Amino acid sequence: MKYIKDGLFGLAVGEAFSVQHDMEERNIRFEDLEMQGYRAYDAPKGSYSDDTCEVLACMDSYLKTRKKSNNLFYPTFMDNLCNWVNNNDYACVDYLFDISKSTRFALMNYWRDKDLETSGLTEDNRQDGSFLARLFVLLIMYKDVEMDDLSLRDNIIKIVKPTHNNEVSFMGGFIYYKLLKYLVDGDTPEEAYEKIRKIQYNKMFSEETINKYSRLIENDILDLLVKDINGDNSVVSMLESVIYILCIAVNYQYSIKGSVSLGDATGMRGSLVGLPAGIYYGYKSIPKEWLNDLRNKAYLEKWIRKIRRS
């Protein structure tokens, strides 16, 4: 289960490095990039943010409910996210300094109505990729379980829907899950991408939704130049940039700095690249100075031990 530590620390370090460069312009020179604090947000150097906190909230939900049901879609998941926002659970600082608009609105809906079916936002044009990292916990749950793609899709919908309730997000979650799974199974990023392109999405998603991912699925995203890769936080653009960076990077450090160099939604992209890059390159590939700067390392190690014992 080495991939759990590789992935979680890859995620947290990638987010801590990238989040303080949020909304900066692209084409920043790599040599100028470093772990910083109090730049984009009022948080000290080495602070991870919302994506890592969401993964920890999901891990907590899984550990609390697995004996009752092998199903992460429990009210405890959204309750845990509310506790993160309201009480700073799972965070590395004692205040909230970053959360996506989609997740914030969904949690407000859930806090008011306690309805998992209606809390998530349904508009395609308001959906970001902030939910994608939580698919890592679904992978931990089902890594060794034989499951057809339709059943996998249904389980992904259960964990995505409470905050992002539309088919574009569901398909995005499916693609990111497959990316993580193929890397854990030993594929290179390029091999994982080729397998992702060959999946029969028309049996699971509408043509309209599939067409939104045409640059990634029907065409080869690697044929594009860096200037053609969008830096915004929409789930489609986020997956395009994540897979593009993973396939052209040569190590973990390059992956994270490449994420920042695209500008715009760097914090989200850094975490979503950091997780699979950590899985592929391994914990030992993360620069030691970045690990030294990361806050709450012992706390993250505690969650890894809990998951491994479960």
C-beta atoms surrounding 117 within 10 Å: 9
Q: Which of 255, 264, 212, 267 is nearest to 50 (CA)?
A: 267
Domain 2-309 superfamily per CATH: ADP-ribosylation/Crystallin J1 (1.10.4080.10)
DSSP 212-231: HTTTTTTS-GGGS-GGGS--
Alpha carbon 167 to chain centroid distance? 18
What is the overall mean pLDDT for the chain?
93
Which of 205-240 are b and which e, b meaning 16 or more Cβ less than 10 Å from the residue's Cβ?
Answer: beeebbebbebbbeeebeeeeeeebebbbbbbbbbb
- For residue 236, give the nearest of 150, 172, 300, 154 by alpha carbon: 172
Q: What is the model's pLDDT at position 117?
A: 85
Beta-carbon contacts of 49 under 8 Å, excluding residues fewer than 6 positions away, are: 15, 16, 19, 41, 43, 97, 98, 267, 271
Amino acid identity of 173?
G
Helix axes 297-309, 2-18, angle to 10 degrees: 150
Domain extent listing, the chain: 2-309
Q: Token pair for residue 3?
A: 């991939």
- Which distant-in-sequence residues (6+ apart) come within 8 Å of 140 by Cβ? 4, 59, 62, 307
| 211-262 pLDDT per residue, tens | 999 999 999 999 999 999 999 999 999 999 999 999 999 999 999 999 999 9
Alpha helices in the chain (DSSP H): 2-18, 50-65, 75-87, 101-113, 135-142, 149-160, 167-184, 189-198, 207-212, 235-248, 252-261, 266-281, 288-293, 297-309
Q: What pLDDT does 71 receive?
A: 56
**Number of C-alpha atoms within 13 angstroms, CB side, residue 155?**
20
Q: What is the pLDDT of residue 149?
A: 97
| Ranges of the chain whose pLDDT falls below 50 | none
Q: What does the pLDDT read at residue 126? A: 59
What's the rounded Cα separation, in Å, for the pair 8 and 52? 8
* 296's tokens: 């709450």
Residues 6+ apart with CB under 8 A from 114: 75
CA distance linking residue 50 with residue 267, whole number of Å: 9
Whole-angstrom distance, CA of residue 251 vs CA of residue 278: 9
List the structure tokens of 214.
Answer: 């045409």
- Cβ contact 278:246 at 8 Å: no
**Position 161: which residue type?**
K
